[in-house]
Amino acid sequence: MSIDLKSKIRDVPDFPKPGIVFKDITTLLIDPEALRESVDIFRRRYEGKDIDLFVGIESRGFIFGTALAYAMNKGFVPIRKPGKLPADTISETYELEYGTDSIEIHKDAIKEGQKVVIVDDLLATGGTAAAAAKLVRKIGGEIVEAAFVVELAFLNGKEKLDGMDIFSIIQY
């Protein structure tokens, strides 16, 4: 059965600030068939590929990354906001529209040469995904691809990802 996943995404005008139309995936998540279809699309894409780990970016990347890791019997690595991981970490700071933000990964989360897919719900300007890719590479991971449920293609986030292979289920 094929589901129109785009129809399951809710537009929320003026969030988080006036002029922004937020693409809300919670309406996709509450629909069991849409959630299953989303994970299955990713699973089918990565079946038979040489992948060791799925790396999810806080917080919605955890939803799809852990589901995919479970479905494919692979490990999962969280990338979190500063101060949330309990052991030794490294961090990467990236630019936001107004200011900067940072994300962290455990130093020992990925072994040298392990092949990973970075997973998040949304690719917008690419800053967070680019920072996640830098973290993965710093600790020795090899990025197979970055996977997103939604891509806001008009924001050109792919440009910040330095030729990395990108896959998105839904494009706007």
Name 145's bridge partners. 117
Q: Where are the domains of the chain?
A: 48-171
Q: From the candidates 60, 80, 92, 151, which is the catalytic residue?
A: 60
Q: From the candidates 43, 92, 95, 97, which is the catalytic residue?
A: 97
Q: 6 falls in which pLDDT band (50, 70, 90)?
A: very high
Q: Between 3.40.50.620, 3.40.50.2020, 1.10.10.60, 3.20.10.10, what CATH number should domain 48-171 receive?
A: 3.40.50.2020
Whether 97 sits among the annotated catalytic residues: the reply is yes
Per-residue pLDDT of 53-107, as tens digits, reads 999 999 999 999 999 999 999 999 999 999 999 999 999 999 877 789 999 999 9
| pTM confidence score | 0.96
Name 55's bridge partners. 77, 118
- Residue given tokens 């970016």 in the structure block: 57
